[in-house]
Amino acid sequence: MTYGFTDILQLVGALGLFLFGMKAMSDALTKLAGDRMRSILAGLTSNRFFGVLTGFLITSVIQSSSATTLMVVSFANASLLTLTESLSVIMGANIGTTITAWLITLLGFKVSMSSIALPLVGLGVGLTFFKNKNWEYWGSFIVGFGLLFIGLEFLKENMPDIEKTPEVLSFLQRYTQHGIGSVLLFLLVGTVLTVLIQSSSATMALTLLMAAKGWIPFEAAAAMVLGENIGTTITANIAAMVGNFRAKQTALAHLLFNVLGVLWMLAVFYPFLQGVAWVTERLGSGSPYTDQAAVPVGIALFHTFFNVANTFVMIWFINPMAKLVSLIVPEKVQPERPMEEPKFLSNEALNYPETALVALERETRYLFEHAVFEIVAHALSLHRKDILSERKPKKVVHKSREDLQVDVRELYLIKVKRIYSEIIAFAVHAQSDLELSESQHQRISELKNANRKIVEIIRDSNELSRNVNHYLREPHQVMLNEYDGFRKKMVKVFRVIQGYREDADRNEYQRKLAKLSEQALESRREGNLGIDKLIRKNKITPEMASSLVNDHDNLNSIIENLVEVAVILYGDQEDTALTGTGMQEPYSSALPL
> What pLDDT digit, counting tens, does each position of 545-593 carry?
777 778 778 888 888 888 888 888 887 655 544 444 443 443 333 444 5
Q: Are 87 and 249 in contact (CB under 8 A)?
A: no
Tell me the whole-structure pTM to 2 decimals.
0.70
In single-letter form, the type of residue at position 592 comes to P
Give ∠ CA 316-321-326 in degrees, rounded to 5: 150
In single-letter form, the type of residue at position 78 comes to A
Q: Considering the domain boundaries, does residue 535 fall inside one?
A: yes
For 421-438, what is the mean pLDDT?
Answer: 87
**Residue 252, pLDDT above cutoff 80:** yes
Assess whether 507 and 385 both reside in one domain: yes
Rounded-to-integer distance, Cα 235 and Cα 200, Å: 10
Q: Which domain holds residue 95?
A: 5-328
For 77-105, what is the mean pLDDT?
Answer: 80
Helix segments in 283-352, DSSP class H = 295-314, 318-328
Residue 579's pLDDT is what?
47
Give whole-number Cα distances, 460 to 264, 288, 550, in Å. 67, 79, 10
Q: What is the mean pLDDT of the chain?
A: 76
Nearest to 375 by CA among 162, 593, 582: 593
Nearest to 380 by CA among 487, 530, 505, 534: 487
Q: Are 261 and 184 in contact (CB under 8 A)?
A: no
Q: Considering the domain boundaries, does residue 373 fall inside one?
A: yes
For 527-544, what is the mean pLDDT?
Answer: 68
Q: Considering the domain boundaries, does residue 591 fall inside one?
A: no
> Residue 385, Cβ neighbours under 10 Å: how many?
8
**What angle do the packed helices 542-570 and 477-502 form, to 10 degrees?**
0
Nearest to 26 by CA among 255, 277, 199: 199
Choosing from 299, 328, 357, the residue where a domain stops is 328
pLDDT tens for each residue of 107-162: 765 555 666 777 878 888 888 887 777 788 788 878 877 777 777 777 666 665 54
Residue 234's pLDDT is what?
79
Count how many domains the chain has.
2
Assess whether 378 and 294 both reside in one domain: no
Assess whether 107 and 140 both reside in one domain: yes
Assess whether 353 and 317 both reside in one domain: no
Q: Considering the domain boundaries, does residue 235 fall inside one?
A: yes
Indicate the burial class of 533 (C-beta count within 10 angstroms; 0-12, 13-18, 19 or more): exposed
Top pLDDT among 581 and 504 is at 504
Residue 532's pLDDT is what?
67
Whole-angstrom distance between the N-terminal and C-terminal Cα of the chain?
Answer: 82
Residue 591's pLDDT is what?
44
Indicate the burial class of 40 (C-beta count within 10 angstroms; 0-12, 13-18, 19 or more): middle
| Plot region of 159 (φ>0 → left; ψ -120 to 50 → alpha; else → beta) | beta
**What angle do the packed helices 200-212 and 295-314 form, to 10 degrees?**
140
Q: Considering the domain boundaries, does residue 338 fall inside one?
A: no
Top pLDDT among 166 and 69 is at 69
**Residue 431, pLDDT above cutoff 60:** yes
Top pLDDT among 348 and 307 is at 307
In single-letter form, the type of residue at position 552 comes to H
Assess whether 435 and 298 both reside in one domain: no
Q: Are 41 and 143 in contact (CB under 8 A)?
A: no
Rounded-to-integer distance, Cα 552 and Cα 467, Å: 11
Indicate the range of 296-305, 337-346, 436-445 predicted with least confidence: 337-346
Rounded-to-integer distance, Cα 54 and Cα 144, Å: 24
Q: Predicted confidence band at 500 (pLDDT cuts at 50, 70, 90)?
A: confident
Q: Considering the domain boundaries, does residue 335 fall inside one?
A: no
Give whole-number Cα distances, 91 to 312, 345, 543, 554, in Å. 9, 30, 73, 56
**Residue 332, pLDDT above cutoff 70:** no
Residue 346's pLDDT is what?
82
In single-letter form, the type of residue at position 298 comes to G
Q: Considering the domain boundaries, does residue 584 fall inside one?
A: no
pLDDT tens for each residue of 28-76: 766 666 666 666 666 665 677 888 888 888 777 766 677 777 777 777 7
pLDDT tens for each residue of 471-481: 777 777 777 77
- Looking at residue 586, the DSSP 8-state letter turns out to be P
Percent of the chain as helix, strand, coil, to the nearest 5: 80, 0, 20
Q: Considering the domain boundaries, does residue 356 fall inside one?
A: yes
For 491-497, what is the mean pLDDT?
Answer: 83
For 497-515, what is the mean pLDDT?
Answer: 75
| Overall residue count recorded for the chain in this entry | 593
In single-letter form, the type of residue at position 588 comes to S
Residue 36's pLDDT is what?
66
Residue 447's pLDDT is what?
92
pLDDT tens for each residue of 197-235: 767 777 787 888 777 777 778 888 888 888 888 888 877
Assess whether 162 and 37 both reside in one domain: yes
Assess whether 303 and 375 both reside in one domain: no
The CATH number of the domain holding residue 414 is: 1.20.58
Choosing from 295, 328, 361, the residue where a domain stops is 328
Top pLDDT among 254 and 292 is at 254
Q: Are 365 and 571 in contact (CB under 8 A)?
A: no
Assess whether 324 and 353 both reside in one domain: no
Rounded-to-integer distance, Cα 190 and Cα 223, Å: 7
Top pLDDT among 418 and 104 is at 418
Query: What is the percentage of the chain residues whose pLDDT exceeds 90?
Result: 2
Assess whether 300 and 212 both reside in one domain: yes
Assess whether 146 and 281 both reside in one domain: yes
Residue 300's pLDDT is what?
86
**Residue 499, pLDDT above cutoff 60:** yes
Choosing from 300, 328, 356, the residue where a domain stops is 328
- Identify each DSSP E strand in 405-475 by its residue range: none
Top pLDDT among 467 and 230 is at 230
**What angle do the packed helices 180-197 and 218-231 form, to 10 degrees?**
40
Q: Predicted confidence band at 289 (pLDDT cuts at 50, 70, 90)?
A: confident
Q: Are 154 and 132 in contact (CB under 8 A)?
A: no
Indicate the burial class of 240 (C-beta count within 10 angstroms; 0-12, 13-18, 19 or more): buried
Assess whether 379 and 409 both reside in one domain: yes
Assess whether 434 and 564 both reside in one domain: yes
Residue 588's pLDDT is what?
37
Q: Are 319 and 309 in contact (CB under 8 A)?
A: no
Close Cβ partners of 374 (under 8 Å, ≥ 6 residues apart): 384, 411, 415
The string of DSSP codes covering 240-276 is HTTS-HHHHHHHHHHHHHHHHHHHHHHHTHHHHHHHH
